[in-house]
Structure 1
Amino acid sequence: MPHAPTDAAPDAATATPLSPRRRTLLDAALHVIADEGLKGLTHRAVDRRAGLPEGSCSAYWRTRNALQAALTEYVAGALLTDVDELTARITQCDGDARKVEETLALFLRWLDQRELLVARLELTMAATRDEELRLLLVDHRSRLVDIVDGIMTAAGKEHGGARAEALVASYDGILLAGLLQPAEGRRDFLIRSLELLSASLTAPDGE
């Protein structure tokens, strides 16, 4: 029995697990955006991609704005979960080299999940013109910066909040550039980029 329809995505802090039907629809929406861009995101397109009867998507999110907000929460939440899991692994690592390896493994997995990254990029661009989406992404980004800040603090790195913010922005840039690399060159590109970033942004001030 499907959940009652809603026009708004749940708050990330209080959200209950998605029903299988909602997850199927949001996964289908990711593929629609990856193939057609955000302009192609319609309820009908999502229904077709999910292989569900017409009207299935609109039963949960009546408007396109509601669908976009739910998808933004879904994408940002998935990325944050991955980062939380990476943080747990990194805290057990000895030395920066191992931490770079763990981050590299996550980035390569993300690049293999092209739909997730492309959807995030499309939604980020839309957020420059949509205040609701902007606020959702700002909230998730601030939590991501807090995670990175905590990692740097635990590692005893001298830094300020601006450095953690710069590190997150740099990771975004590396991922975008990684999407443009040929598949066979992505690993080497990411290794070089992450090692340079680790050396330049986590070194004490003045070095």
Structure 2
Amino acid sequence: VRSKGTFKSQEVYIPTYNDAVENESFVKTHVSYYKQQHRWGWGSVNVAITMASLFSKSEKFPIYRRAFMLKNIFEYQVWYMTVVFILSFGLIIMGWLSPSYQFTVLAYNLQRALSYIFAIITLTNIPIVIFRRQLSPVPKNWKWWRHLLDFAETFLVTVNMLTFGFIPYVQAQTEMMLGLAKFKRNFYVTEKVKMDKNKK
């Protein structure tokens, strides 16, 4: 607010260490992952703060800058979080809300067009995975099912986005909206477990 929206960020490239969520068991790993995504979902608290500043002190922000900031908020906090859900179930929901829509030309052609687009995108991922495996070779001692899973992982991203990439965020934002929980109670530090590589 003090800078009237004129501030800009500068990327700084430094070495970082990133690790995936991993716990003692398969179930515990996914529980930790859900809690991590739930914690990240509380990061949307900046949306309310930004909106309040833009509209309560609108005279300090030029209209083009307000439009740009609202566009970024919509993209990162709304669209990117719901695009997979909308593309997967949007047409079905429209049919429930308006039964007559199912008999329109748009409903028929749009569904076919989306199916073709998704099929092309899916097939495009195959050469991408092959190229990625050449750049970063997989371990030589992998079993055959690990190789299949490596290819299937690309397609399972959609499942992840419909579950862990969607539900925890909805839970966090609903709690925030209704005041059902405090952030400190939901704050969860991802557990770091040292795995025994020699354990079979």
TM-score between both structures, scaled by the size of structure 1:
0.28
Q: Greater CA radius of gyration, 1 or 2? A: 2
The higher relative CO (CA closer than 8 Å, separation ≥ 6) is in 2
Structure 1 or 2: more helix by fraction: 1
TM-score between both structures, scaled by the size of structure 2:
0.29
